[in-house]
Amino acid sequence: MRSRLIVVLVALAVAIVALYGLPRAYFLTDLIHDAEAQETRHVADIAAIAIAERGRGADDVTPDFLESFLQTQESLTFVAADGSRVRVGFPAEADSAEDIVATRPLPDGGEITLRRSADLIDQRVEDALMPLFLVGLALVILAPLLMWGLAERLSRPFRELAGVAERIGQGHFDEPIRHHRVAEAEAIAEALRRASARWAELMRRERDIAANASHELRTPISALRVEIEDLASWPQTPPDVAAELHSYLPQLDRLNAAVRTYLDAAQAQRLTDVDTVDLVPVVRAAMQRWEAPAEGARSAVASVLVEEPEGPMPVRASQATVGQILDLLFRDAVDRGATLVRVQLGCTDAFGRVRLSLEGETSPTGDKARAAASQTALEVDGRVSIVDGHSTLLLPRAPGGTASRVS
């Protein structure tokens, strides 16, 4: 979008310069030619009057006298009544058909011819057109820079919204969407806000259904199977009825297997839909946030990474979700009065692991933050476990990575 805007705006600027500059250049050229022709005629009139007055006084018309009427690149030819000729200025060999020529008759039968060189006219036209050309050239050179800035400003809201839409598509439904002054951009932003809110609600309901489906579906099926087996084994049950009841059990097993297949497929789909993020930089970022929090934002707690990971540790979760879980666990460490948090990273075949060992714990204030972290981890098929008062976050591993494995 930005490149197309730049091309369109630069082409528009060049067209404006051309549409203004070309007619202006022709107008100036004609104006200078007319002014030079008028000035030539005016000088010829003055010279004719002066020469006529000099003739009445019986004074000779000398070359020095004639040169007093000339400027650079002009010539003046005096033809006396007796046919004698005097020429001053540039030589006759330099005459051109494009010169401006003014001829005036004299009272005694002679005449004068004033000629202004075409080279002089061209030079004055060039001098007049040069500022116009330089201004046009400057506009053409500056236009891409100015238009780039304008296109950058016009396209920035839409590029930001494109990035927001990309992150929402990756599952970051809590992505902040700022307001824009451009009406079209604000309309798109508002549509994205509504869409992200609806998608977040749909995903929450889907996770709730997936989390409760095992209990709500498989438990009654298993209970029904047990009841049928008990009923079939009662002494009061006739043999033919017991045989009929036993024939129902394979159908219940098929139903149970179908439910289990559906739940496994739903879980695999959820794992495919979420992002893949490297756990190592996310953990480092969380440690830095809690070691040097913003002023007035939260209490700080020192942390240290026990062992440097050997490589990346990709897990199936969004960066925002992992950061939120870690923030809750660090919040829990602060609430418990810990003075140091030892962070250990590792992985198994199925999970990436982050273990937070607290030192200096003095005043436990409840498990609210831990419970919130555990609930958030369940949304990405992870879990938070507490062993000896220390927190361990387990997240499903993604393919790849060379980080150290732990048992």
Q: What is the pLDDT of residues 332-377, one digit of tens each?
A: 888 888 888 999 998 888 889 999 998 887 766 667 888 888 888 8
The pLDDT value recorded for residue 64 is: 85
Q: Cα dist. 81→110, 136, 222 in Å?
A: 4, 54, 139
Element (H, E) at 100: strand 100-105
The pLDDT value recorded for residue 343 is: 92
pLDDT per residue over 48-101, tens digit each? 888 888 877 667 788 888 888 888 888 988 888 888 888 888 888 888 888 889
Q: What is the mean pLDDT of the chain?
A: 81
Q: Are residues 268 and 280 in the same domain?
A: no
pLDDT confidence tier of residue 2, bands split at 50, 70 and 90: low
The pLDDT value recorded for residue 354 is: 92
CB 281 within 8 Å of CB 326:
no
pLDDT surpassing 50 at residue 297? no
Please identify, among 68, 93, 121, the residue that sits at the C-terminal boundary of a domain. Answer: 121
The pLDDT value recorded for residue 1 is: 60
Q: Are residues 201 and 110 in the same domain?
A: no
pLDDT surpassing 70 at residue 406? no
Instruction: Round to whole Å and give the CA distance between 373 and 394.
Output: 11
Side chain identity at 111, as an amino acid letter?
Answer: E
Q: Are residues 313 and 302 in the same domain?
A: yes
The pLDDT value recorded for residue 221 is: 80
In this structure, is residue 307 part of a structural domain? Answer: yes
| Lowest mean pLDDT segment, chosen from 317-321, 365-369, 376-380, 386-390 | 365-369
Q: Are residues 224 and 252 in the same domain?
A: yes
Q: Among 216, 217, 240, 244, which residue's Cα sits nearest to residue 228?
A: 244
Q: Are residues 288 and 244 in the same domain?
A: no
Say what percent of the chain tops pLDDT 90.
6
In this structure, is residue 285 part of a structural domain? Answer: yes
Q: Cα dist. 367→97, 289, 336, 337, 385 in Å?
A: 104, 22, 9, 13, 12
Q: With left for phi above 0 and alpha for psi between -120 and 50, is residue 401 left, alpha or beta? A: left
Overall average pLDDT of the 142-163 stretch = 83
Q: Are residues 9 and 104 in the same domain?
A: yes
pTM of the model: 0.43
**Residue 65 phi/psi, 5° resolution?**
-65, -45
pLDDT surpassing 60 at residue 9? yes
Overall average pLDDT of the 294-309 stretch = 72
Q: Are residues 282 and 247 in the same domain?
A: no
The pLDDT value recorded for residue 187 is: 92
Q: Are residues 262 and 314 in the same domain?
A: no
The pLDDT value recorded for residue 350 is: 85
Pairing of β 100-105 and β 111-116: antiparallel
Q: With left for phi above 0 and alpha for psi between -120 and 50, is residue 111 left, alpha or beta? A: beta
In the chain, the number of structural domains is: 3
Q: Are residues 284 and 361 in the same domain?
A: yes
Please identify, among 216, 250, 273, the residue that sits at the C-terminal boundary of a domain. Answer: 273
Q: Are residues 304 and 382 in the same domain?
A: yes
pLDDT confidence tier of residue 296, bands split at 50, 70 and 90: very low
In this structure, is residue 138 part of a structural domain? Answer: no
In this structure, is residue 145 part of a structural domain? Answer: no
Calculate the CA dihedral of residues 158, 159, 163, 164 and round it to 10 degrees.
-30
341: CATH: 3.30.565.10
Instruction: Round to whole Å and give the CA distance between 102 and 44.
Output: 6
| Lowest mean pLDDT segment, chosen from 126-130, 206-210, 244-248, 340-344 | 206-210
The pLDDT value recorded for residue 293 is: 59
Instruction: Round to whole Å and give the CA distance between 326 and 377.
Output: 10
The pLDDT value recorded for residue 267 is: 59
Question: Which residue reads 């010279």 in tokens?
Answer: 47
In this structure, is residue 235 part of a structural domain? Answer: yes
Q: Are residues 229 and 257 in the same domain?
A: yes
Please identify, among 99, 121, 143, the residue that sits at the C-terminal boundary of a domain. Answer: 121
Pairing of β 390-396 and β 383-387: antiparallel
66: CATH: 3.30.450.250
Q: What is the DSSP letter of 113?
A: E
First to last CA, the chain: 52
Instruction: Round to whole Å and give the CA distance between 398 and 245.
Output: 46
The pLDDT value recorded for residue 359 is: 86
pLDDT surpassing 60 at residue 295? no
pLDDT surpassing 80 at residue 260? no
**Residue 120 phi/psi, 5° resolution?**
-65, -40
| Alpha helices, H only, 274-347 | 279-291, 319-335
pLDDT surpassing 70 at residue 270? no
pLDDT confidence tier of residue 42, bands split at 50, 70 and 90: very high
The pLDDT value recorded for residue 25 is: 86
Overall average pLDDT of the 183-209 stretch = 83
pLDDT surpassing 60 at residue 44? yes
Domain extent, residue 194, equals: 183-273
In this structure, is residue 401 part of a structural domain? Answer: no
Q: Among 302, 300, 396, which residue's Cα sits nearest to residue 343?
A: 302
In this structure, is residue 378 part of a structural domain? Answer: yes
In this structure, is residue 219 part of a structural domain? Answer: yes
Q: Are residues 267 and 287 in the same domain?
A: no
pLDDT per residue over 12-35, tens digit each? 878 888 888 888 888 888 998 899
Which position has the higher pLDDT, 172 or 139? Answer: 139
Instruction: Round to whole Å and give the CA distance between 43 and 37.
Output: 10
